[in-house]
Amino acid sequence: MSRYYDNYENTIEWLKDDNTATLSLTQRRTITKIEKLAKQYPDECQIIARNNDGSICAHVPISWIKISPKRKVSEEQRLAASKRLSQNPITKSNN
């Protein structure tokens, strides 16, 4: 799929007091994620339409919808986390 489709709209909608959200997706990485979830959780995640332009429409539980801002980390916090990670025996054995 070309980058042209990245400019199309991706939407999430649900009705108050409902349990299912409807996703309309054109972004390839999100489509791939939903395709994997539909295989892993067929009772909870269903792809209900595949369109000629490559977009999909799917149903997922509302409990799967999460909106969270990117965590802000100071340079000091990032360095401290890096130091802790480098001291972790599991991390050291993988290098």
Instruction: Supply φ then ψ for residue 15, to 5 degrees.
Output: -100, 145
Q: Is the predicted pLDDT of residue 1 greater than 50, yes or no?
A: no
Q: What digits encode the pLDDT tens for the residues 46-67?
A: 999 999 999 999 999 999 999 9
- Residue identified by tokens 């909870």 is 44
| Cβ neighbours for 61, distance < 8 A, ≥ 6 positions apart | 19, 20, 21, 44, 45
Higher-confidence residue of 89 and 3: namely 89
Beta strands at 46-50 and 11-13: parallel, antiparallel or unpaired: unpaired
Q: Is the predicted pLDDT of residue 11 greater than 90, yes or no?
A: yes
In this prediction, what percent of the chain has a pLDDT beyond 70? 87
pTM: 0.68
Burial class (CB in 10 A: 0-12, 13-18, 19+), 61: middle
Position 8 confidence tier, pLDDT thresholds 50, 70, 90: confident
